[in-house]
């Protein structure tokens, strides 16, 4: 006990000695406690409550979770989220990797300018993007349908009918996916570019001496050593897909019907349109646990195959 008391006194003396440094970093921890930790814990508390934000919360136990698993709209939102993710994540990764390799080439002039150009969509305001893509998706005067009409002569069977990109349940998720590929390819390109620049040139020089072709160097050096970057991009894409809100809300508002309602929009509607804060918290924690488990599964592939 005496030894423990001496250790505690020594610890406090060290803390007091460096009190100025702790004072400088304290704003971060205070802000995190108020705007990060407290909302997180309060949301967990609300998941066992029924609360509309005005009346006192009523404890309902696990009723919110039981209701959630019988909610058809909840599963519809999850399915739409999975479909949208499956539509845009693979092509986004493909284009990001291609652009990263091109923009990593020392032979390319004005590489910085092209990198900024590819990255620019992900920092463009969503309102501007929505206006532009609404014009592109227009049934009567949109560039996409105009291009299809111009290509009519190349396809047999008569004129191609305009595609109702935003008005059709069959095309709404495709429309959102195209926007997501355009917007987030640059973000993943920057991450993959950093991963490529972290690979030592010694590997490539040794492979060239051994007579390896460009494809063999890509297959046996670049791709295995890029695995940690791919894993990180995959986890970020998983989180971004599940909690995506701006793109769907601005472009389709989840319609037509519920054809493009993803989980992020579903959660927003529960909390801020229906004022079911307790139920929304239970949905958020349920999906957060699922995302956490999937992230752990993805993390199993983070180690390079060459280790």
Of 7-16, 76-85, 114-123, 261-270, which gets the smallest average pLDDT? 7-16
| pLDDT for residue 155 is more than 70 | no
Distance CA 42, CA 281 (A): 9
| pLDDT for residue 1 is more than 80 | no
pLDDT the model gives residue 303: 64
Of 54-58, 114-118, 145-149, 249-253, which gets the smallest average pLDDT? 145-149
Distance CA 196, CA 204 (A): 12
- Cβ neighbours of residue 256 closer than 8 Å, sequence gap 6 or more: 167, 168, 169, 172
Name the nearest CA neighbour of 129 among 186, 164, 190, 179. 179
Domain boundaries, the chain: 71-137+168-299
The phi and psi torsions of 59 (rounded to 5 degrees) equal -70, 130
| pLDDT for residue 7 is more than 80 | no
Q: What is the pLDDT of residues 195-229, one digit of tens each?
A: 999 999 999 999 999 888 989 999 999 999 999 99
Whether residue 99 contacts residue 119, with contact meaning beta carbons closer than 8 Å, is answered with no
- Cβ neighbours of residue 164 closer than 8 Å, sequence gap 6 or more: 139, 171
Neighbour-count burial for 200-224, b at 16+ CB within 10 Å, e otherwise: eeebeeebeeeebeeeebeeebbee
| pLDDT for residue 159 is more than 80 | no
pLDDT the model gives residue 306: 46
The DSSP line for 127-138 is: HHHHHHHHHHT-
- Cβ neighbours of residue 85 closer than 8 Å, sequence gap 6 or more: 237, 238, 241
Whether the model clears a pTM of 0.85, i.e. scores above it, the answer is yes
For domain 71-137+168-299, give the CATH number: 1.10.3720.10
Q: What is the pLDDT of residues 263-300, one digit of tens each?
A: 999 999 999 999 999 999 999 999 999 999 999 999 98
Q: What percent of the chain has pLDDT over 90?
A: 65
Give the model's confidence band at 57: pLDDT under 50 very low, under 70 low, under 90 confident, else very high: very high
Angle between helices 227-242 and 72-103 (to 10 degrees): 140
Across 2-11, 233-242, 293-302, which has the greatest mean pLDDT? 233-242
Q: What is the pLDDT of residues 160-201, one digit of tens each?
A: 788 899 999 989 999 999 999 999 999 999 999 999 999 999
Give the model's confidence band at 148: pLDDT under 50 very low, under 70 low, under 90 confident, else very high: confident
């Amino acid at each position: 006990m005496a030894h423990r008391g001496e250790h505690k006194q020594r610890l406090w003396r060290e803390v007091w000695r460096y009190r100025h440094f702790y004072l400088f970093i304290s704003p971060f921890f205070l802000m995190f406690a108020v705007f990060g930790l407290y909302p997180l814990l309060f949301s967990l508390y609300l998941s066992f409550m029924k609360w509309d934000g005005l009346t006192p919360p009523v404890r309902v136990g696990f009723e919110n979770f039981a209701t959630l698993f019988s909610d058809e709209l909840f599963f519809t939102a999850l399915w739409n989220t999975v479909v949208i993710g499956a539509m845009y994540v693979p092509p986004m990764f493909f284009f990001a990797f291609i652009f990263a390799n091109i923009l990593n080439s020392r032979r390319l002039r004005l590489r910085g300018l092209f990198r900024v150009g590819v990255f620019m969509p992900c920092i463009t305001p969503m309102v501007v993007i929505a206006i532009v893509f609404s014009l592109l998706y227009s049934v009567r005067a949109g560039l996409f349908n105009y291009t299809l009409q111009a290509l009519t002569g190349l396809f047999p069977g008569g004129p191609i009918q305009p595609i109702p990109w935003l008005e059709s349940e069959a095309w709404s998720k495709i429309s959102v996916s195209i926007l997501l590929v355009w917007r987030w390819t640059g973000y993943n390109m920057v991450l993959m570019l950093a991963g490529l620049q972290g690979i030592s040139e010694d590997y490539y020089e040794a492979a060239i001496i051994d007579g390896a072709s460009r494809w063999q160097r890509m297959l046996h050096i670049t791709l295995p050593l890029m695995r940690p970057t791919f894993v990180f991009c995959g986890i970020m894409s998983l989180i971004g897909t599940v909690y995506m809100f701006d793109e769907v809300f601005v472009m389709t508002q989840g319609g037509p019907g519920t054809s493009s309602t993803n989980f992020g929009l579903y959660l927003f509607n529960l909390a801020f349109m229906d004022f079911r804060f307790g139920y929304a918290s239970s949905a958020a924690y349920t999906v957060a646990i699922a995302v956490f488990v999937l992230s752990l599964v993805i993390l199993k592939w983070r180690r390079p195959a060459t280790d």
